[in-house]
Amino acid sequence: MNIRDLNIGIVGATGAAGGTALKLLLERDHPADKITLMASARSAGRKIQYGDDNIVISEASSDSFHGIDVAIFAAGGLVSRRLAPRAVEQGAFVIDKGSIFRMDPSIPLVVPEVNGDDIEWHPGIVSTPNCTSTPFVMVLDALRKLSAIKAVTVATYQSVTGSGSAGQQELIRQSGNVLGGSKADLDVYPHQIAFNILPHVDDFLSDGYTKEEQKMLNESRKILHDESLAVSATCVRVPVEISHSESLQIEFESDVTVHDAKRVLSGYDGVLVVDDPSRNEYPMPLTAAGGDDVLVGRIRMDTAHENGLALWLSCDNLRKGAALNALQIMDEAHRRDVLNPRSQRKIK
Amino acid sequence: MNIRDLNIGIVGATGAAGGTALKLLLERDHPADKITLMASARSAGRKIQYGDDNIVISEASSDSFHGIDVAIFAAGGLVSRRLAPRAVEQGAFVIDKGSIFRMDPSIPLVVPEVNGDDIEWHPGIVSTPNCTSTPFVMVLDALRKLSAIKAVTVATYQSVTGSGSAGQQELIRQSGNVLGGSKADLDVYPHQIAFNILPHVDDFLSDGYTKEEQKMLNESRKILHDESLAVSATCVRVPVEISHSESLQIEFESDVTVHDAKRVLSGYDGVLVVDDPSRNEYPMPLTAAGGDDVLVGRIRMDTAHENGLALWLSCDNLRKGAALNALQIMDEAHRRDVLNPRSQRKIK
């Protein structure tokens, strides 16, 4: 079956990640009549433009998935918990964008460039990682070809679309408030995000970390199949619309060079090295946004640790951080001919 | 002599740091007739409001410093290089905000809370550190009371006033451009800063680091009197008007606890612990701006390194990061009665 013949459903089509998935399908010329857009009852009946076509949104319900080959869930954990198992029963291959299945040992968590093989043992659902984890594991996977990794310190600079369309609206609205001299109106975030920085992404845990920081550790270990990987993360929201950036310091078991790091990163699918300081070329959210690659630059020796490298990355959190990775999981499952969950070919 | 009787000169009175110094003098009720504001010929004759008074700006020239007890230089390296030695000759105690004297071994580089003693051997000039170094060394100085520090990894989130008033104007102008749907107009920065992030502060060096990152390493070693201190810094410009924030991971020689870290930080002059995640209380640029304290929070164990702590700080880069530290150097020199450079009391 040609991939354009697949019936693809998007649950949460009105959100930022769902909307990006639809945009990516249009870029691939996926036929409009092979796309089903689903959302809550509130949005049902609304039309969404898709090239020259309009697609009417239907309500996502427990019997919405008959005839759907691939269902992309981007509507939050509660909806996935309730409807993803129904979609699998009805024959769909589910790709879940949310966090609820990610650490479930029976469900693969996949970045195709890193652990595409894990798709083979899917039980009907494959989970896509958190938007900060995806570029992070790609860079670590490239670099561990040079030497085993001992520890990674990462500080993030995460855009507001990580909180969906509502986060983006809040940044735009508050920026207007502030420029106009009025008080910023709070809704999504507990504090003003316009012209401010919040060292706070997702809920706090009792050890002082946030769930987002914990995800970077746990998801990386699962995707990289390295339970001893040591990661110390600080996740921070910044007043940027699209793309997450990350500052990494990586300690290796043995000596690595900047030259070799550039070589393995340049040769890694989905990574683009942008590293020419003399021309002011380095990754930025604005240049990563709308693109498919994880941009990596500022690659240099770590001045504080033996066998250490420091680098900087930017990645479109809606594309590779979410919707693009989901579609690439679909491509990979199609290529490996494991789309049909009922065949349950290779359960681990 | 009472400190309010000192004749204080500000060179670079029209800039962001000079303006903040003046604001701080007003908060202290320093008499208007004891303040001389200097700038380039272009600004000479302009009046600056100071409470109910207006102070006329004069041109800073090589004989401007007769009768001035304390001259605060905030007009860039070229002006300091040319005029600071003249000011010393004319009897002024010079506090230089710029970078040109900082690493000169004959000139103390001082954060009074950390190394106030170093003021005693000044040769007429004392330098104040770069705005990212000041809060950084205060936190490290507090924490090294618990255990020797092995290595520090730091990623910064630096506001545009680090580039002076022009940086602030650029952010505001570009934000308006973008919200209005037009192209951002570039002037100060090589790329758009509104709704974007630049992993680029100050010029690049041949090893891939920036001068700003190098400053954090070198200045910290000098201020902390610890030539073996290992620091790996990534300095990043963010679309925030005032206050720099920093994410730190600190590795110690021996075990430290979050409880003890909070205790020594809370007891440190000029540091305020703001760390109650359950109430969404943590340091932010907006809450640090306008205040005198370095706000420290998100204090937790480092998940990647033995004997490690992670934390987050925000600090007003114009106040403690620049003008406030300068005035505190003046206070300390006054308290120690070493203001008069010609007495040259205790040359090291």
- pLDDT means per 10 residues, chain B with 348 residues, are 94 92 96 97 95 96 96 94 96 95 97 98 97 98 98 98 95 97 95 98 97 97 97 98 98 98 98 97 98 98 97 97 96 94 46
pLDDT at position A346, please?
40
Q: Which residues of A touch B195 (CB under 8 A)?
A: 171, 175, 239-241, 285-286
* Residue numbers in A near B280 (CB within 8 A): 190-191, 200
Query: Which CATH class, in words, describes the domain spanning B133-158+201-317?
Result: alpha beta
Half-sphere exposure of B74 toward its Cβ, with a 13 Å CA cutoff? 34
What pLDDT is attached to residue A115? 98
Please give the pLDDT value at position A37. 98
Quote the mean pLDDT of chain A.
95
Confidence at residue B116, expressed as pLDDT on a 0 to 100 scale? 98
Three-class DSSP category at B78: helix
| Residues from chain B contacting residue A195 (CB–CB below 8 Å) | 171, 175, 239-241, 285-286
CA B210 to chain centre: 18
With respect to CATH, is domain A3-129+322-343 assigned 3.90.1150.10?
no
Tell me which residue in A175, A230, A280 faces B200 most closely, judged by beta carbons: A280
Catalytic residue among A30, A122, A131, A315: A131
B303 shares contact with chain A (CB less than 8 Å):
yes
C-alpha to C-alpha distance for A8 and A22, rounded to whole angstroms: 10
Rounded to an integer, what distance in angstroms lies between the CA atom of residue B171 and that of residue B275?
Answer: 30
The whole-number average pLDDT for the span A54-59 is 97
Pairing state of beta strands A35-39 and A58-59? parallel
- For residue B194, the model assigns a pLDDT of 98
Q: What is the pLDDT of residues A96-110, one digit of tens each?
A: 999 999 999 999 999
Find the helix or strand (DSSP H, E) in which B141 lies.
Answer: helix B133-143
Q: Residue range A241-255: average pLDDT?
A: 98
Q: What is the per-residue pLDDT for B132?
A: 97
Q: What is the reported pLDDT for B347? A: 39
Nearest CB to A199 within list B192, B204, B298: B298
Give residue limits of the domains in chain B: 3-129+322-343, 133-158+201-317
Q: Which residues of chain A are within 8 Å of residue B217 when distances are taken between CB atoms?
A: 303
Chain centroid to CA A343: 28
Give the pairing type, strands A70-73 and B93-96. Answer: unpaired
Nearest-angstrom CA–CA distance, A12 and A48: 12
Give yes or no for residue A348 having a pLDDT over 50. Answer: no
Give the phi and the psi of residue A229 in degrees, each rounded to 5.
Answer: -55, 130
Residue B341: per-residue pLDDT: 62
| pLDDT band at A340; cut points 50, 70, 90 | confident
Rounded-to-10 torsion of CA B291, B293, B299, B302: 110
Please state whether B82 falls in left (phi above 0), alpha (psi between -120 and 50) or beta.
Answer: alpha
For helices B16-27 and B324-335, the axis angle rounded to 10 degrees is 50
Chain B interface test: which of A196, A273, A312 (most B C-beta within 10 Å): A196
| Percentage of residues of chain A with pLDDT beyond 90 | 95
| DSSP strands (E only) in A97-229 | 125-127, 149-157
Q: Is B151 on the interface with A (CB under 8 A)?
A: yes
Q: What is the mean pLDDT of residues A27-33?
A: 97
**Location of structure tokens 């649950």:** A11
Q: 3-state class of B265 per DSSP?
A: helix
A334 a catalytic residue: no
| A 195-224 → B contacts, CB under 8 A | 195-200, 204, 207-210, 217
Q: Who wins on pLDDT, A342 or B131? A: B131
Instruction: Report the distance separating Cα B132 and Cα B311, nearest Å.
Output: 15
**In which band, very low, low, confident or very high, does the pLDDT at A1 lie, cut at 50, 70 and 90?**
confident
Question: Which spans in B52-121 are helix H?
Answer: 77-89, 112-115
Residue A184 has pLDDT above 90, yes or no: yes
